[in-house]
Each structure stands twice: as structure tokens, then as C-alpha cells.
Amino acid sequence: MRAPLPRRVLTLAPLVALALVGAPPSAAAQSTSGAAREALPASSARTTSPAPTDFAATPLFAPALRIAPRVSPHVTLPDALVHDGRLVSFARRVPTPDGASGVRAADGVRPASDATDAGEPPQPGLQNPSFSNDLVDWDVLVSGAGAAPGDVTVEDGRAVLREGDAFLVELSQAFVLPDGAATLSLELFVEPGFDLSDGFIPDAFEISLLDAATLAPVVEPWAAFASSAFNLQEDGTTHLGPSTTFDGQRIAFDVSGVPGGSELLLACDLIGADADTLGGVSLDDALIGFGCGGPGSAQSYGAGWPGTGGQVPTLELLGTPAPCAEITLLMGNPAGGDVPALLAMGFAQDALPTPFGGTLLVARPILLDFVLDAGGRVDPVTIPCDASLCGAELDLQVLAVDPGASAGWSFSAGLQILIGDA
């Protein structure tokens, strides 16, 4: 009797399955792929996929709680911290009359995230970290604005903060830090760039990582009077906290000392203290790192079996497979129309001949029915924020009905996915 597969690999297959099944497969897909499953060698068809609803019902896919920022009605907008004529930080931690901490009241708050029922458990990790779904799960705050307020938009896959005539433009997200997290990082692009047309108190951009309830910094700030761990001045000068690094593009915060399960607030603030209005910066790819010991990877292996026009179905992956990462599966379809297909998923490679000419390249596969669209498929998958997935392997192969194939089915090459660092 085989030992059960470790939990860390069993969590990967439902994710891929959920990405493929927006609806139950058609009757044609079920009957055709069922016949194919019967024709496969007995050693390769030991398991079949659960119904799509089984995947959707697992706790892994419970909707995330969008934790609303704590805003106290008793707080007024504080002054910026100015030193030697420079705006060096924004005073975030403000005492309220009852002695608690709160954030500043805003002239206008536009939540970008959709609130869910407060009774739902928070989901670990940053949601929509690469802004692939616009600003969903993020919150935007614009404060101290006049007739031309600043804003945050998503352009070319990046979140762009523009100052307008606002004192503060903030992009933030409250989230739960996953167990085992080592770093939190994100890319900064000084684009469109600071507006240098006014020489009053220069603008600044800073990032704070705070306790979501108390607003106390959980990563040591760059100065005793600041709450931010990263600060960029208009002239290019940067200020970093002791455990923060910056390579000119990626800002990384060491969170290894922050307990897993902590509810945190990531706040990115563009502060405009002068009269110019065209300054802005861009952010992308907010990542939580787990110190997996090596980068994640995806590579093809084995040989596929051709279909229409002598073409082999393609199976590729975009993005780096890592805990918390967003990746995308790309599947090509040479048949030229919607066809029933199978996705073979497993945790090791094999080379088993089949009656259809192609070779099954996945050992002990889970076989999932789906429809391969005429133009192929593009399926996003978010890997769970689970440190135990480091080093896990997932092997995939697509088998598609194809009238141009020698025995009616074409096979892609295999795709090996190894979970590692982003």
C-alpha cells in the first residue's frame, strides 16, 4: 500500500482544477473523456478528478475577508514632519481622545476593495498583489485635495499614484501575514516621476508596514519619529529602516520576526507638500517570500503527439511558481474548434504508452475533464500562501480530442512546475 501523498502537494491540484472549471464540463466532454479514461493503461488511470463543486467547497477557496482600515472619527489630519526644509515623513500614529491609536481622518476615502461578511476568516497573504484585477482588494485614500485631487489607477499592469493637488494619496491593503513568511517586497518605479516645478517643501513617497489594529510599525522604521520603513525623497535620496533593503527597484522588508497570523496594514503614501501637481510613482508585484532555498521554475519535458496540421498542443506557464504567487497556464489548441480535453495532473513524471499514439507523461494522474476553447485557454491560478509548498512538484499534461490526430487525440508535452522563491 502506497504512503499517502503529503498535504503540501495535495493542495496544488485543486487550484489548477478550479482555474479550469468555471462550469461543469459538457455532456460531450464527459462522455468522450470518460471513454478515453477507460482506454488509458490501468496503471495510469487509478484516480479521477472530484466534481468541480468539491474543489470550490474546500476551505482553501473560502472568500477572503477584506479588512477595512481603522479610521477614527476623533482624529484630525496631522502636520507632516519637516526637517531642514524637507518633508521627511507623514505622522501616521495619532493619539485619539480615548488614548487609542488611529489613522488620520480623510477628506475623501474611496475604498477599492469589496467588503465581505465580517464573520468570514481572513485569508493569508496579499490579495491581487500584481494588480491583475485592477484595484480590487486594495484601498485608496486621497486627502487634503482641492479642485484637482490625485488618484490611483492601474496602467499597463502597475498601480500608478498621482499627487494632483492632494496632500496625501495612499494605496493600502490590510492582510494576514502567512506562517513562515520571511520577506514582503514590491517593485517601485519612479514613473511618471516627481514634479520638480515647485521648490517649496519637496514631495516624498514612503511605505509603512503596520499592525492593522494599533497602527504601530511591525518593521523598524527608518527614523525614531517615523512609522515608515522606506522613504524616498524628491531628489532621489532614500531612507531605509535597519531591516529594509532597496536595490533601486525592489523594496524588501524583513518580516521573519513578525508572528504568522498577524493582521497587518501595508500603506504606500505619496505626499505632496508643494504646489506642483504632476508627480507620481508606480508600484507592481507585491510579493511575500518564504525563503524556499531556490527560485520556482516551470519547464517542458517529454514529447507531445501531433494533431491537426501536425501541430502539438502547447502547455506553458507564465510567472514564477511560488507560495502566494499569481501564475497563468496557457494551453494551445491546434484543432481549430472547442474540443473536449483532459488535464492530467500528478506529482511525478512517467512515460506510459497509450492506444492513441501519444505517451502519458504524468505518473498516477488525476484526470480532469474540461473544454479546450478554439483559441486555447488562459487560466490564472493563485498558489496558496503556505510555506510547506516550498519544493513541491506538480506535473501537468493536456490531452485533447483532435480529428486531425492519428487516433483522434493529441497530447501536449509535459510541464513540470517546482514551487520555490519568486
State the pLDDT at residue 307. Answer: 96
State the pLDDT at residue 279. Answer: 87
* Averaged pLDDT of the chain: 76
Contact of 338 with 401, CB cutoff 8 Å: no
State the pLDDT at residue 276. Answer: 77
Contact of 324 with 388, CB cutoff 8 Å: no
State the pLDDT at residue 21. Answer: 46
State the pLDDT at residue 199. Answer: 61
**Where are the CATH 2.60.40.10 domain residues in the chain?**
7-61+294-418
Cα–Cα dist 310/404, whole Å: 8
- Express each pLDDT in 191-246 by its tens digit: 988 877 766 677 889 999 999 999 999 999 999 889 999 999 988 999 999 999 99
Strands 339-346 and 101-102: unpaired
State the pLDDT at residue 80. Answer: 41
State the pLDDT at residue 14. Answer: 54
State the pLDDT at residue 195. Answer: 79
Is 30 in a helix, a strand, or coil?
helix
Half-sphere exposure (CA, 13 Å, Cβ side) for 93? 21
Query: Quick one: how far is CA 233 from the chain centroid?
Result: 28
For 80-286, CATH gives: 2.60.120
**Where are the CATH 2.60.120 domain residues in the chain?**
80-286
Which triple of cell numbers denotes residue 217? 510599525
- Is domain 7-61+294-418 given the CATH code 2.60.40.10 in the classification? yes
- The whole-number mean pLDDT for each consecutive block of 10 residues of the chain, a chain of 422 residues, reads 39 54 40 43 37 27 24 31 43 36 34 44 83 93 84 95 90 94 96 76 89 94 92 92 96 96 95 80 94 94 96 95 92 92 93 94 92 91 90 95 95 97 88
